[in-house]
Amino acid sequence: MKYDPIIRGFPHILHGSDYNPEQWLGTKEIWLEDMRMAGLAHINSLSVGIFSWAALEPREGCYDFSWLDEIMDLLDKNGIKAVLATPSGARPAWLSQKYPEVLRVGADRRRILYGERHNHCPTSPVYRAKTAAINEKLAERYGSHPALGVWHLSNEYGGECHCELCREAFRAWLRTRYESLDDLNEAWWTAFWSHTFTDWSQIEPPSPLGDNSIHGLALDWKRFVTEQTADFMAAEMEPLRRLTPDIPCTTNMMGLYDGLNYYRLSEKLDIAAWDNYPAWRGDDSDIELGSQVSFVHNMNRCLKDGRPFMMMESSPSATNWQEVGKLRRPGQLALQGIQAVAHGSDTVQYFQFRKSRGSAEKFHGAVVDHVGTEGTRVFREAAQTGAILGKLDSVVGTVVEPDTAIIYDVENRWAIDMSQGFLKQKGYVQTLTEHYAPFWRAGVSVDVIDSTKPLGSYKLVVAPMLYMLRPGMAEKIEAFVRGGGTFVATYMTGYVDEHDLCFQGGFPGALKNVLGIRCEEMDSLYPEERRRVSWNGEVYTARDLCEIVHLHGASAEGEYLEDFYSGTPAVTVNRFGAGEAYFIAARLDDKFNNDFFGMLMDKLGLKRALGGRLPEGCTACSRTDGEESFVFIMNFSQEEKTVRVEESARSLLTEEDIRGDVTLAPRGFDVLRIKRSVE
Ligand code: GLA
Ligand code: ZN
């Protein structure tokens, strides 16, 4: 199985960056220099128009496409594809001045002044009309331009607007969802603190001035924000879809940003894309960070069900908005790019091509620095990366085929984060990445999916802290296990439904049968406290959360060794149908996660990208077209490492045959082509 390249007829990994030629309208000779240097850097795509509205429509209704015409032609002449943006991410001043309704209102009900970006009202009919108009012009003008490759919708959609239009739209959305106020009151449990609503107009989104304690309301508001953003995006897309049906649409998302449910937003897109800004430090913390970043790549791959995604932005060096704007150490730029491709990205793109001369991002890493020449370390590293990516045409469109999935559910995250009790910081995302890390270390590919995705194709599904069971999820898990799948759940599972109403009759709610347990109480520990737990003849430590459970069909594989619940089950397994369901009752240490999931990897025979054990700090990922595998081996440590390759392989980078040991420099990598029809 192989997908078409993202840009039809352009079967290359896209290597590129954001490019802001409108900042250099007065010194156009720089554009020619840019083209020359883009060629030297093996850049084949540039993202343009992202913040160009003021240059494209300097006065209301007066468009000036002349400069973009020139740029598009220059790109084409230089063999570069345009990732062409719609400009809604930032507005011209005239627009905000004339139509203040386009300016966002905060949760404190104050309207912002003109400025900054990513701060429009998604509901405003004026903003929607203005956006649709300029998008239509762009599509008409460039729809058949040979440089046009991808539509880049807006920029990093996010945030929320509390203006009267948005609040009314929220109420209308609620009316459709609940039909009756009685149903809404029941779902939101509004008898609590006398919150019963007797008229739709009384309902206000959560605010520091108002309510934050009705969690059903807060959850619905978050859902609405996603729906309204998706609806705005659809309105933006309408002229593009109509005039250029063959040009794929994407938008650059922000990884684990939780203001939007990206699984839902992505349903409207052709391709998922994200902006990747890890704070690499050039020390051993890069190993854990490497694992965390790869988790997010996996999630992005799953947003469109395995279709190659785009790493739309990444910094070639320092990131100006981070606490410490550390330089990328030598080799890091290439490793960061290869890592994206390893997990299914068909692009390695940066922010930005040339540093702005002024304003906020003038010290953000870029391919071309203020010195303006190709004679810099970062430029050379970008160019080397481009040359490497140029050898990976055969990887384009290939897929990752994991037999393991981790559930990352954004609605569940919202519910956990707003719930009060147990611990202030419940650490859902951290828990997910801790459960993912053993697979990363072993070179076992993992899908990161939410509750709406099918489970059928996996051997193992791990659902840490699945506090909220969305409709149908429990049934899906039961069917999965009954059919022979292995399921792993943890403490804090099956507490509430989609309205954040607790399941009556005990936790883990509708998962009681498949897990074969009943949870009675949750003990929360102070940060310095630990509890010992046994499993498989070894002793491990629990921290933070220890759930006290009873067996109802399951058997205990591990137990607490301390406190009043000493001797009660801490790790259980339930045979159910043809499969098994495990429950981990406490937040256990990394050693447990490694040993426990290592046991499951062996027992279930999960696919490893490479046969043998990988050295500490290294990982391997595999993409396949069904006939050949492309195995990416990567070293995130600061030391040279030797990776054992047992099959006969050929390096796509050195074009040499490999059998036996491959030595990887610190931050080194290789891409091996291995003939094997994939399982
Ligand atoms: C975001 C934006 C870019 C740029 C970068 C800087 O990802 O999309 O426009 O501001 O951050 O890191
Ligand atoms: Zn609004």
Contacts of residue 470, defined as CB under 8 A and 6 or more positions apart, other chains included, come to 409, 411, 412, 451, 452, 497, 498
Could you tell me the distance, in angstroms and rounded to a whole number, from the CA of residue 454 to the centre of ligand 1? 33
Q: Does any ligand 1 atom lie closer than 6 A to the CB of residue 364?
A: yes
Distance in Å, CA 85 to ligand 2 centroid? 23
Ligand 1, atom 10, lies closest to the CA of 361
Supply the residue whose CA is at minimum distance from atom 3 of ligand 1: 351
Is the distance from the beta carbon of residue 319 to the nearest atom of ligand 1 less than 6 Å? yes
Separation of 209 CA from ligand 2 center, angstroms? 17
Question: Whose CA is closest to atom 12 on ligand 1?
Answer: 319
- pLDDT tens, 382-399? 999 999 999 999 999 999
Q: How far apart are CA 438 and CA 104, in angstroms?
A: 43
Does the model's pTM come out above 0.95? Answer: yes
C-alpha of residue 339 to centroid of ligand 1, in Å: 20
534: exposed, middle or buried (Cβ count in 10 Å: 0-12, 13-18, 19+): middle
- For 199-221, the pLDDT digits (tens) are 999 999 999 999 999 999 999 99
Whether 313 is catalytic is yes
595 sits in which H/E element: helix 590-604
Which two three-digit tokens encode residue 335? 């490793």
- Test site for ligand 1: of 117, 257, 361, most ligand atoms within 8 A of the Cβ: 361
Nearest-angstrom CA–CA distance, 91 and 54: 7
Residue 35 backbone zone (phi > 0: left; psi -120 to 50: alpha; other: beta): alpha
Burial class (CB in 10 A: 0-12, 13-18, 19+), 77: exposed
The β-bridge relationship of strands 14-18 and 45-48 is parallel
Distances (CA, A) of 275 to 254, 314, 378, 406, 425: 5, 6, 19, 22, 26
Query: What's the rounded Cα separation, in Å, for the pair 586 and 377?
Result: 48
Farthest CA pair distance, the chain: 76
DSSP bridge partners of 16: 45, 349
Determine the Cα angle at 301 with ends 299 and 306, to 5°: 130
What's the 151 CA to ligand 2 centre distance in angstroms? 25
In this predicted structure, what is the pLDDT of residue 142?
98
616 included as an active-site residue: no
Q: Kindly report, residue by residue over 33-88, the tens digit of the pLDDT.
A: 999 999 999 999 999 999 999 999 999 999 999 999 999 999 999 999 999 999 99
Pocket test for ligand 1, best of 53, 88, 116, 156 (most atoms within 8 A of CB): 156
Mean of the per-residue pLDDT values for the chain? 97
Give 597-636 pLDDT, tens digit per residue: 999 999 999 999 998 899 999 999 999 999 999 999 999 9
Cis bond before residue 508 (omega within 30° of 0): yes
Give residue-wise pLDDT tens across range 564-590. Answer: 999 999 999 999 999 999 999 999 999
**Pairwise CA distance, residues 604 & 195, whole Å:** 50
Catalytic residue among 22, 156, 498, 580: 156
| d(C-alpha 278, C-alpha 558), whole Å | 37
Distance between Cα 351 and ligand 1 center (Å): 7
pLDDT of 370 strictly over 50: yes
Report the nearest atom of ligand 1 relative to the CA of 321: 12
- Rounded Cα distance between 336 and 340, Å, is 7
316 lines ligand 1 (CB under 6 A): no
Residue 94 is encoded by which pair of tokens? 């005239």
What is d(CA 335, CA 649) in angstroms, rounded to the nearest whole number? Answer: 21
What are the extents of the domains in the chain? 14-160+228-395, 404-604, 618-675
Peptide bond into 332 cis (omega under 30): no
Taking the C-alpha atoms of residue 679 and residue 673, their distance in angstroms, rounded to an integer, is 16
Strands 538-551 and 555-560: unpaired
Please name the residue whose Cα sits nearest to atom 4 of ligand 1: 351
How far apart CA 646 and CA 160 sit, in angstroms, is: 52
Q: Which atom of ligand 1 is nearest to the CA of 155?
A: 8
Contact 270, 151 (CB under 8 A): no
What pLDDT is recorded for position 449? Answer: 98
pLDDT band at 196 (very low <50, low <70, confident <90, very high): very high
| Residues comprising the chain, all counted | 679
SS3 state of residue 556: strand
pLDDT (tens digit per residue) in 508-529: 999 999 999 999 999 999 999 9
* Alpha helix segments (H runs only) across 310-406: 332-342, 377-389
Instruction: Kindly state if the Cβ of 277 falls inside 6 Å of ligand 1.
Output: yes
Q: Is the Cβ atom of 351 under 6 angstroms away from ligand 1?
A: yes
Q: How far apart are CA 24 and CA 177, in angstroms?
A: 49
Residue 631: strand pairing partners: 622, 672
- Which of 313, 401, 547, 559 is labelled catalytic? 313
Atom of ligand 1 nearest to the CA of 277: 12
92: tokens are 């011209």
pLDDT of residue 612: 83
DSSP code, position 103:
B
Dump strand ranges (E) for 304-385: 309-314, 345-350
- CA dist 633 and 619 (Å) reads 6
For ligand 2, the distance from its centroid to the CA atom of residue 102, given in whole angstroms, is: 7
Classify residue 555 by its DSSP letter.
E
Cβ atoms < 10 Å from Cβ of 79:
14
678 pLDDT higher than 60: no
Q: Is the CB of 523 under 6 A from ligand 1?
A: no
Alpha carbon distance 68, 65 (integer Å):
5
**What SS3 class is residue 74?**
helix
- Checking if the pLDDT of 339 tops 90, the result is yes
For residue 510, give every residue at least 6 positions away whose Cβ sits within 8 Å of its Cβ, in sequence order, or none: 469, 474, 475, 494, 503
> Measured in whole angstroms, how far is the alpha carbon of residue 271 from the centre of its chain?
13
Tell me if 508 sits within 8 A of 495, measured CB to CB: yes
- CATH code: domain 404-604 is 3.40.50.880
Q: Tokens at residue 225, please? A: 């924000």
- 425-448 mean pLDDT: 98
Does the pLDDT of residue 414 top 70, yes or no? yes
**C-alpha of residue 104 to centroid of ligand 2, in Å:** 6
- Look at residue 348 and tell me whether its pLDDT is greater than 50: yes
Whether 564 and 531 have beta carbons less than 8 Å apart is answered as no
pLDDT tens for 112-171 read 999 999 999 999 999 999 999 999 999 999 999 999 999 999 999 999 999 999 999 999
650 DSSP 8-state letter: E
Question: Alpha helix (H) ranges present in 123-214?
Answer: 125-142, 164-178, 181-188
Average pLDDT over every residue of 459-482? 98
Pick the CATH number of 14-160+228-395 from 2.60.40.10, 3.50.50.60, 3.40.630.10, 3.20.20.80: 3.20.20.80
3-state secondary structure of 210: coil
The span from the CA of 413 to the CA of 400, in Å, is 26
Percent of the chain with pLDDT over 70: 100
pLDDT of res. 659 = 81
3-state secondary structure of 147: coil
Dihedrals phi, psi of 267, to nearest 5 degrees: -55, -30
Q: Is 294 in the pocket of ligand 1 (CB under 6 A)?
A: no
Kindly state if the Cβ of 155 falls inside 6 Å of ligand 1. Answer: yes
Residue 96: pLDDT band by 50, 70, 90 thresholds? very high
In this predicted model, what pLDDT tens digit does every residue of 236-245 receive, in sequence order?
A: 999 999 999 9
Architecture, CATH, for domain 618-675: Sandwich (2.60)
Q: What is the pLDDT of residue 677?
A: 56
DSSP state of 328: P
Task: Say which ligand is closest to the CA of 225.
Answer: 2
320-345 per-residue burial string, b: 16 or more CB within 10 A, e: under 16 = eeeeeeeebbebbbbbbbbbbbbbbb
Ligand closest in space to the Cα of 253:
1
